[in-house]
Amino acid sequence: MDNTQYKNVFVFAEQRDGVVQSVALELIGKARDLAADLGEKVFAVLLGKGIAASAHRLIEYGADTVIVVDDNNLKDYITEQYTQAMYQVVVEYKPSILLFGATTIGRDLAPRIAARLGTGLTADCTKLEISEDTKEFQMTRPAFGGNLMATIMCPNHRPQMSTVRPGVMQKCAPDASRKGEIINFAPKFDSSKFSVKLIKTVKEEKASVDISEAKILVSGGRGVGCVAGFDKLRELAKVVGGEVSSSRAMVDAGNMPHDRQVGQTGKTVRPDVYFALGISGAIQHLAGMEESECIIAVNKDKFAPIFAVADLGIVCDLNTVVPLLTERLKKEMAK
């Protein structure tokens, strides 16, 4: 493979119901750094139906060029339809680097495209950089449940593909005066391969904010014990204007829904304050929250690994601390 034919940093600009996802803007932010180091351009690829108006937004956040594929086949995300479109974009424009959000869509689509292209894909990268001396693309990711970090390269195949979880990279500040190019691309679809049909999409009622967007998280682990224990955490969260999240153990036990799980197999969060209540702090949990601005840990076990990352560590029974704290904060807030 002649690598020199491939250049520029491409981002799959994931949209849902016409709304560009935050992770796409974060990836464009990162792509700007990479493109600057390589002396190349940032391309965003926007697939969907009736989505062309979002192209300007991608430019405001740092894309130099937006490739728009506006087609009825792409109204909803379905693996094969999106793979066909994205594959043809890659073959036509030959990117050197191609980034996806590690969402349920990105993690479904990226491996399918990587296999169609016969190239490598590195999942859930936490750091992407261009080496200073050799200008090679280096992708760093956690392995073994976050116990180890591995730096991975894809030296002989192009594009070099990676996925990045939402919340890991930083967006650029939007600049409404930024200029960019918009290209409309029309792939040829082979509908004989469209064997999966979408019957319906159901959004589950959520009165709450996505935990990765929350400023304050009240997170519970094994020490909370049961479903009723989480009611106390919810009360505390309500008083401080936060959301409730949990460790994997509580999700596996069925005490909390999966979308509340923090950690390697859950979500990556970096709130202003993270309350770790009765969470021992297995490495895969720490991997999802250690970037939090301030970590307050309460645990009965003074040897719990969570204390190694806590800004404030309290060895005490959370079940006595939480109700008292809730009452006290109610008074503080009323002041």
Partner 1 sequence: MKILVCIKQVPDTTEIRIDPVTKTLVREGVPSIMNPDDKGGLELALQLKDKFGAEVTVITMGPPQADVMLREAFAMGADRAILLTDRKFAGADTLATSYALAGAARTLDWDLIITGRQAIDGDTAQVGPEMAEHLGLPQVSYVAGLEYDGKSFTIKKQTEDGYQILQFEGKGLLTVLASAFKSRYMTVGGIVDAYNKEVEIWAADKIDFDESRLGLKGSPTKVVKSFAKELKQPGVIHEVDAEQAVELIVSKLKEKHII
Q: Could you say which residues in the range 212-251 bind partner 1, by CB under 8 A?
A: 216, 240, 251
User: SS3 sequence, 27-93?
Assistant: HHHHHHHHHHHHCCCEEEEEEECCCHHHHHHHHHCCCCEEEEEECHHHCCCCHHHHHHHHHHHHHHH
> If phi over 0 gives left and psi between -120 and 50 gives alpha, with beta otherwise, what is residue 298?
beta
How far apart are CB 112 and partner 1 at their closest, in Å?
Answer: 5
19 sits near partner 1 (criterion: CB under 8 A): no
Of 263-282, which residues contact partner 1 (CB under 8 A)? 264-265, 272-273, 282
Choices 30-38, 53-61, 184-192, 195-203; region in contact with partner 1 by CB under 8 A: 195-203
Contacts with partner 1 in 60-79 (CB under 8 A)? 78-79
207 near partner 1, rule: CB under 8 A: no
Q: With respect to partner 1, which residue has the nearer C-beta, 28 or 309?
A: 309
* C-beta closer to partner 1: residue 101 or 180: 101
Q: Which of 11, 58, 289, 298 binds partner 1 (CB under 8 A)?
A: 298
192 is a contact residue toward partner 1 (CB under 8 A): no
Specify the pairing of strand 19-20 against strand 15-16: antiparallel
Residue closer to partner 1 by CB (options 227, 312) is 312
Binding span for partner 1 by CB under 8 A among 55-63, 66-74, 102-110, 183-191: 102-110
Q: Does 40 bind partner 1 (CB under 8 A)?
A: no
Residue 127 CB, nearest approach to partner 1 (Å): 11
Among 38, 52, 153, 172, binds partner 1 (CB under 8 A): 153
Distance, CA of 185 to CA of 64 (rounded, Å): 16
Told to check if 313 binds partner 1 by CB under 8 A, we report yes
Using alpha carbons only, give the angle 163, 166, 171 rounded to the nearest 5 degrees: 100
Angle at 92 between CA 48 and CA 11, to 5 degrees: 50
How far apart (Å, rounded) are the C-alpha atoms in residues 191 and 41?
Answer: 33
In whole angstroms, give the CA distance from residue 211 to residue 125. Answer: 20
Q: Which of 29, 62, 95, 120 binds partner 1 (CB under 8 A)?
A: 120
CA distances from 215 to 149, 251, 293 (A): 27, 22, 10
